[in-house]
Amino acid sequence: MKDEYQLLRIPGPTPIPPSVQQAMMKPMIGHRDHTTKALLKRIKPSLRHIFGTKEDVMIVAGSGTAGLEAAVVNTISPGDEVLVIVTGSFGERFAKICESYNMNVHRYEYDWGKAFLPEEIKSYLKKHPSIKAVFATYCETSTGVLNPVRELASVVREVSDALIIVDGVSAIGATPMMMDDWGIDICVTGSQKALMLPPGLTFIAVSQKAWNRIEKNHHSRFYLDLRRYRTNLIEDSTPFTPALSLLFGLEQSLNLLKLEGLENVYNRHQMMKKMTRAAFKALGIPLLTNDTDASPTVTAIQPRDFNPDQFRNIVKEEFGLILAGGQNHLKGKIFRIGHLGYCTPQDVLQTISCIEIGIQRIGKNIPLGDGVRAAQELYIKEG
């Protein structure tokens, strides 16, 4: 029994609801069949709602990184100037994608664990008027930071005609995204995060301004050519074979989000963030981010007096609890707890309880129950 039990609390892939798993077990259908067209037609309105856009959202069989690369290759040409805001590992990934296509990349880097400051970006753009796109990460998964992309879009619009392109992979579906109202041009997410699916789908929403840029861009692309997806989606189809089983699951996950109500979904994630942070404050274990910058989907913890990776091994062995480690220069220095998607406050209470025992096991003396009590009190007060 112990060998088969797993408590997955990483920021993706995330647990999958049973009803979504059942939906993905439906018999295979023809991808050019009218049944697939009807499925895509049913899915489209819900995706638009989650992204906060009137535009159809492209569905591409691929990881979230495929969506990020599609955003780059469809809008920018080699030699073009772009600004990439780096607040962690996934901002760094955006920069590497742009560099791989020989773009002139300006990196604006922040200390990992801090959100970017829109006014600083505004000042930088004034000094570099040739920049054609600004790339930003909504939730920086590697640090547990939620960046102010709404405010970023506002200041960019004041001083530049650059496109605003956002990695929303560990944010969309768990925290608000009003793409049209905020003035964001391209937003990308993946299936394995708040949308409660296995990895394998990326979703890309594009503004009219960005479409105009895409139509004029002569950069070579084939599978990731968003023009193909747009043309086919008008006819409720895809240019290439879709991941049909994932689409079955997607429809059900979208139904679950609709049934709960997006505002309630967002409030649940805020509650889980606050409970998690309250627990570690009560235990006297430092958090990587401050309360203002903290993401509702993942919390990064930076212990001073025990080894995070040894601790993660202990709770995995004893409880089947899987936590994420640090990335790049934070490897071995932090651990991260994912609380997004198919996750509830009661899951947080279970996770904190296991963590307290794990901390004791590694040799740090803490009063058992203080973290759980703080999370409980937060829930009672605000829930």
Mean pLDDT confidence for 270-287: 98
The pLDDT value given to residue 383: 78
pLDDT higher than 80, residue 209: yes
The pLDDT value given to residue 1: 59
pTM for this entry: 0.97
Mean pLDDT confidence for 61-86: 97
Cβ-based neighbours of 118, under 8 Å, separated by 6 or more: 148, 151, 152, 154, 155
The pLDDT value given to residue 4: 76
What are the residue ranges of CATH 3.90.1150.10 in the chain? 7-14+261-382
Residues that constitute the known binding site: 336
Cβ atoms of 204 and 67 closer than 8 Å? yes
pLDDT higher than 80, residue 278: yes
How far apart are the C-alpha atoms of 269 and 250, rounded to whole Å? 20
- Say how many Å lie between the first and final Cα of the chain, rounded: 34
Handedness of CA 207, 212, 213, 219 (dihedral sign): positive
How far apart are the C-alpha atoms of 88 and 238, rounded to whole Å? 33
pLDDT higher than 90, residue 65: yes
Cβ atoms of 115 and 146 closer than 8 Å? yes
- Report, in this order, helix, strand and coil percent for the chain, each rounded to 5: 45, 15, 40
Q: DSSP letters of 235-303?
A: TT--SS---HHHHHHHHHHHHHHHHH-HHHHHHHHHHHHHHHHHHHHHHT--BSS-TTTB-SSEEEE--
Residues that constitute the known binding site for substrate: 336
What band does 132 get if pLDDT is binned at 50, 70 and 90? very high
Cβ atoms of 136 and 167 closer than 8 Å? yes
Mean pLDDT confidence for 250-261: 98
Q: Number of helices (H) and strands (E), helices first, in the chain? A: 14, 14
Mean pLDDT confidence for 81-87: 98
Q: State how far the alpha carbon of 348 is from the alpha carbons of 89, 278, 355, in Å.
A: 25, 11, 10
Strand locations in the chain, DSSP E?
A: 7-8, 57-61, 81-86, 104-109, 133-137, 139-140, 145-146, 163-167, 186-190, 201-206, 298-301, 321-322, 324-325, 335-338
Superfamily of the domain at 7-14+261-382: Aspartate Aminotransferase, domain 1 (3.90.1150.10)
What band does 53 get if pLDDT is binned at 50, 70 and 90? very high
Cβ atoms of 290 and 144 closer than 8 Å? no
* SS3 label, residue 350: helix
What band does 5 get if pLDDT is binned at 50, 70 and 90? confident
Mean pLDDT confidence for 123-132: 98
Amino acid at 180: D
Residues of the chain with pLDDT > 90, as a percent, come to 97
Mean pLDDT confidence for 356-374: 96
Residues of the chain with pLDDT > 70, as a percent, come to 99
Rg of the chain, C-alpha, whole Å = 21
How far apart are the C-alpha atoms of 357 and 369, rounded to whole Å? 9
What are the residue ranges of CATH 3.40.640.10 in the chain? 18-259
Question: Domain 18-259 belongs to what architecture?
Answer: 3-Layer(aba) Sandwich (3.40)
Which tops the pLDDT comparison, 174 or 219? Answer: 174
Mean pLDDT of the chain: 97
pLDDT higher than 90, residue 3: no
With 0-12 / 13-18 / 19 or more C-beta atoms within 10 angstroms meaning exposed / middle / buried, residue 297 is: buried
* SS3 label, residue 231: helix
Mean pLDDT confidence for 34-47: 97
Amino acid at 305: D
pLDDT higher than 70, residue 2: no
Q: How do strand 298-301 and strand 335-338 relate by DSSP bridges?
A: antiparallel
